[in-house]
Each structure stands twice: as C-alpha cells, then as structure tokens.
Structure 1
Amino acid sequence: MGERVTDVLYGLGWGTVKRLPEPVAAGLGRTIADTVWRRRGKGVLRLEGNLARVVPDAGPRRLTELSRAGMRSYMRYWMESFRLPAWREDRVRTGFDPAGLHHLTDGLESGRGVILALPHLANWDLAGAWVTTRLGVPFTTVMERLKPESLYDRFVAYRAGLGMEVLPHTGGTAFGILARRLRDGGLVCLVADRDLSASGVGVTFFGEEARMPAGPALLAQRTGALLLPVTLWYDDSPVMQGRVHPPIEVPRTGDRAEKTSVMTQALADAFATGIADHPEDWHMLQRLWLADLDPARRPAPPEAGGTT
C-alpha cells in the first residue's frame, strides 16, 4: 500500500505541478519544504548530521538554518524536475550556466569519450537536460532500482524524455554498456557521491572515512575516457550555476586498485570543494560516512595481504 501511495504521489507531481505557473510552483515547494523541516523527521535530522561534518564550526542555530535552506533547495529540485518535461526549449537552454565547459566540449571533440561525475548537488536532471538541449549531446546514465517498479518506470520515462539513456544499477550489464558508449566517443553521466553497492572505494571525505563508487575511475581506466568532476549550485536567480572541473588523470604507476583509489579520492576532493562552498544545495538525506552506517552494512576489513 505504501509503495502504491508513493507512486501515486509522484504521478500527481508530474501531472499537476508542471501545469502550475512557475512562481506558484516555487512557492508551493518552499511551503512543503518548511512544513517537512518543522516536523524534524529522520531525513531532516540526517541532513543536519551530514551538514555538521561539512561545516564543522557551525553551532546548532547555524545547522538548523542550513537544514532549512537545504530542504528548500531539495524541494526546488523536485519542483523543477516535475516541471522540466513542460519547459520550453529556450527555458532549458537558459536555465544552467556552467563554468569550465571547455573541459567537456574539448573532450567530446577529441573522440575519447567523457565521464561526468556529480554529487547530489542542486539539480543534476536540469544539468542533463541542458546538455542534451543546448549542446545537442545525448548521454547514458545509471539509475538505482526503485520500489514499486512502476515508480522506477516513471523515472526512466521522465529521464528518457529529457534525452537520456537510462540503465538500471542492478543486473550486471550497465558497466559493459557504459564502456561501449565511451569507446564510441560518447558521454556518460554518473551521480557518484554515495556508494550503493557497499563495495565502493574508501575515501577521506571532510576528514572522515566514507566509500564512493569505483565505477567512474574504472571506466576511465578501461576506456581511456576523460573523467570530469562537476559541481552544481543555486544562487538567487532562476539560473542554476555549475563548474566542470579539470580532468582527473589516470596515475602512471600502481595496479588497478591503487589507481582507482587515487582517482576516487581526487573525485571526492573535487566534490568536497563544491559542497563546502554550497552546503545548503547538497541533497544528502541518507547515511554516508562509515561511522554512521549500521554495523551489518559496513564493509568487512580486507584480509591480510588482500586488496580493497
């Protein structure tokens, strides 16, 4: 029953919110965000716990201010996402203003293939729609399986409608398809600040141990594609801002595991710069650091002489 209700609510969002005038939708998003924030549920408390690591000198008042701004940013993401299918092409083309775009365009022109790796900052769906609309470049991405299946299908259809090829995270075929797209000189976009497999790469993130997906670094090594971190943020205008960071190079020495570790740490460091500058736009309402995970979900320590 709960899964069906969730599916219906998302369906209402895409069916109703996209018809609202933009100022009305924005006001509705703020009202919902403030209501959820005042209820102090698990998601809000987890967000504050995560923000306490990002802004370690923040006191209780500053953290509550940040979490309120964070929930407003999160609901802006949802209001925009519900409305994106109805946006005119010129609205999408002017809705994002990234710096460092030459890293992406030069990489695509080289024919090497490009991997864009992003954290959960601002609106990654809008950034993707901008790439397909403004640059005219299709891309492939991976999405976590959702329950119920009908909700997953809604998200796949939504993102496909924005010009994305969407692969399921589970099933074992995604990596091979992504590698083929990159070898053909294509573009792959991955949200990569949270490990969904419990077998990711250990990184130091804001001074504590976390794990992030190995996929972006492994794909870059296997295919020769450029690996570009991207960070996003909102300001006071309707236009989302962003930065395409310089490429993360494959180390010249070390085995595959060592190279993957170095590259994933560099990716985490790039993510941290964007999150630290705009903590209110980081939509991380889940446990991320190993110290916060349930003991049963923590990865087992490597055996003596083994590799991680």
Structure 2
Amino acid sequence: MNSSRAYLLAFRHAWRIPGPLWRALMATAADITWLVHTKGVHQLERNLTRVSPTANPRQIRQLSRAAMRSYMRYFGEAFTVAHITPQQRDARVRVINAHNLDAALALPGSPVLALTHQGNWDLAGMWASATIRPVLTVAERLKPEELFTEFRTFRETLGMTILAAGDDGVFRALLRATRTNNHLICLLADRDLTASGIEVDFNGHRARVAKGPAALATQGQVPLIPVSITYEKLTGHRRAQAGSPWGIVVEFHTPLHADPNATTKDNITNLTQQWVTTLATAITRSPHDWHMLQKVFTADLNPHHPLAPPATPKEHND
C-alpha cells in the first residue's frame, strides 16, 4: 500500500478507532520513522540544529524524536478532528494575546496571518472559522489529485475556504478578500513553494520563505499578524472536555503594518523579515512542534553553498 492510499483510508476510517489506540498507533509510527532515520528525519535534524544552536548531536537526535511524535500527532488529529464536537474543539484551543487580533479586526478589511508548520494548524483553522471569521487559505497541490481533493474537502468541512497553490488568479483572489471584512487570510509561509520567495535571516541562518503574506498585507493595506501554534498537555477538567490529552496554544503576535513612505518592494522585504524574526523566536522556544522535514535554509537548498552540510551516501544515490 502506498502512502497516498494510506492517507485516504485514514481520512475515511480513523475516527472509528478508539482515541487511545489511535494515538498509540501514531506514536508508534513516529518512532519507527525516527528509528529508520528517513531522508525527511535527516532533514528535520538539520533544521532543528539551526533553531537549537546550543544542542549537541545527541540532544538533536532526541529532539527529532519528539518532533516526529508531534508531527504524527498532528496527522492523527487531522484524520479525526472533523468528528469532534464544538465543545471538544473549544476545549482543545487556548489563545494568547487575543487583543492583537482584535485590534486588527477593528480595522477595515481582512487581516493576513502568517504561520509556520507548527502544532495543529488545521485545528486552529477550524476553531477560528467557527468562532472568529471563516479562514481563507492556500494549500499545496498534492499528487495524486485524489489525495489533494481529499485534503481540500477535509479542510472545507472544517469551515475553511481553500485555494490551490499554483492555480491562476490565486493572488488576485486573496487580494480581493483583503478588501472585505469576511475572512482571516491564513498563510503557511515558512516554505517557498514558488521559487520566487524572499531570502531572510532565520535565527542567524539564511532561509527562503514565501513572500505572499507581506505582499498581500502591503498591497491590501491590512495588518500582518504572525501566529505561532504549539502543543500543550491537558489535565483535569479541560482534558475531559477536550476528549484528548493534547491541546494547542495559539499566540497572536504584535500586528505588523506596511510603511506608507516605503516602496512596495521594500515593504514586502521588511515585513517578511519581521514576521520571520517573530516566529523564529517562537520556534526556538518549542522546536519540537516545528514540523519541517523539507529544505528551507539556503545552505541546504544550494548544495554548492559554502555552509552546505555534506551529503550522505543515501542522498548521492537518490
């Protein structure tokens, strides 16, 4: 069975499995993947080294195990979250600095939220769509098409509107949305999927990220809010209400605004660096909740970069 077929089966049947058993299965899957030390885990450890500069190799290895468990926890929840109750949904979400979002919502237009691949962004989107404003976002077009359709349908079931990255008119549609008061425009932006992103300082290392959040905030003249999402262990009454031992913490950081006296290009560059700096700090505090198994740092994207790590024999054979 290939991975796409496994995803489809999980979406359709995982909710039937008792929660404790399902969480144990996902933790086991994480540990096996970590022990095999797949190419994704290897890249995860490279990334974790950049955001945990004081950690030694043994600590990085331990951190990558925790990160894989967090990552598989996210998938396990994604396969079942559409079947939880509103009370369970709300009990699983804790918000920090809601006043930052309130300030942005008081202004005309739909604010732009910049996120990274932290915690459970689908649960956060589900919660926000139900309690604040419907989320409008962009998703990577996965292959095969059936898998992308399943993910898209899943997120639409949670109350979100999904545009496909790479389709014609996506940026124009997002820009039109900034001029209404109908949405939260949420963009996962710590990977450059278009090869037209911006190079930034990411915790002291050069990295490429998407320019979409800053471009939309600048051209739409709306606030840009960095948002971090991390897991937390639940206990007592809240755990019983949540129907899960895990919840998420959604932190709305200080809104960023384009400088009316700067050029569009400079605003995009400056706003991008500002949200990256904010969220890099948040990632450094909880690196195990950053689910980044792909290349984002320039030294990895360019194998001839002077700071590029040596390729492993396995990578030479790919």
Deviations 1:98-126 (A, max 9, x none): 10112223322333321111001011001
Corresponding residue pairs, total: 293
Residues 107, 114 of structure 1: 8 Å contact kept: yes
Counterpart CA distance in 1 for 2:131 and 2:18 is 23
Counterpart CA distance in 2 for 1:120 and 1:7 is 20
Counterpart CA distance in 1 for 2:106 and 2:262 is 29
In the alignment, structure 1 residue 189 sits paired with structure 2 residue 197: no
The one-letter code of the counterpart of 2:177 is R
TM score, norm. by length of structure 1: 0.91
Q: Which of 57, 60, 67 lines up with 2:57 in the alignment?
A: 60
Counterpart CA distance in 2 for 1:125 and 1:275 is 18
- Give, in angstroms, the shift of residue 296 of structure 1: 9.5
Counterpart CA distance in 2 for 1:288 and 1:7 is 24
1:34 corresponds to: 31
In the alignment, structure 1 residue 45 sits paired with structure 2 residue 42: yes
- Give, in angstroms, the shift of residue 252 of structure 1: 3.8
Deviations 1:145-183 (A, max 9, x none): 110011110011000000111001102311111111110
234-243 vs 71-80, which deviates more?
234-243
Counterpart CA distance in 1 for 2:53 and 2:191 is 20
Residues 181, 187 of structure 1: 8 Å contact kept: no
2:207 corresponds to: 210
The one-letter code of the counterpart of 2:259 is P
Q: Which of 60, 63, 69 lines up with 1:72 in the alignment?
A: 69
Q: CA RMSD in A?
A: 1.6
Q: Which of 199, 212, 218 lines up with 1:221 in the alignment?
A: 218
Counterpart CA distance in 1 for 2:249 and 2:174 is 27
Residues 178, 188 of structure 1: 8 Å contact kept: yes
1:12-161 correspondence to structure 2 within 5 Å? 12-135=9-132, 137-161=133-157
Structure 1 gaps, min length 5: 298-308
- Give, in angstroms, the shift of residue 295 of structure 1: 5.2
In the alignment, structure 1 residue 292 sits paired with structure 2 residue 300: yes
Residues 48, 63 of structure 1: 8 Å contact kept: yes
Tell me which stretches of 4 or more aligned residues in structure 1 moved more than 3 Å: 294-297
Deviations 1:250-289 (A, max 9, x none): 1243321111111000011011111000000000000111
In the alignment, structure 1 residue 175 sits paired with structure 2 residue 171: yes
1:304 corresponds to: none
Query: Identity of paired residues, percent?
Result: 39
Structure 2 gaps, min length 5: 235-245, 306-318
In the alignment, structure 1 residue 7 sits paired with structure 2 residue 9: no
Residues 233, 242 of structure 1: 8 Å contact kept: yes
Residues 104, 255 of structure 2: 8 Å contact kept: no
1:244 corresponds to: 252
Deviations 1:201-253 (A, max 9, x none): 11011211111111111111111111100001112222211210011121243
91-100 vs 275-284, which deviates more?
91-100
- Give, in angstroms, the shift of residue 81 of structure 1: 0.4
Q: What SS class does the counterpart of residue 199 from structure 2 fall into?
A: strand
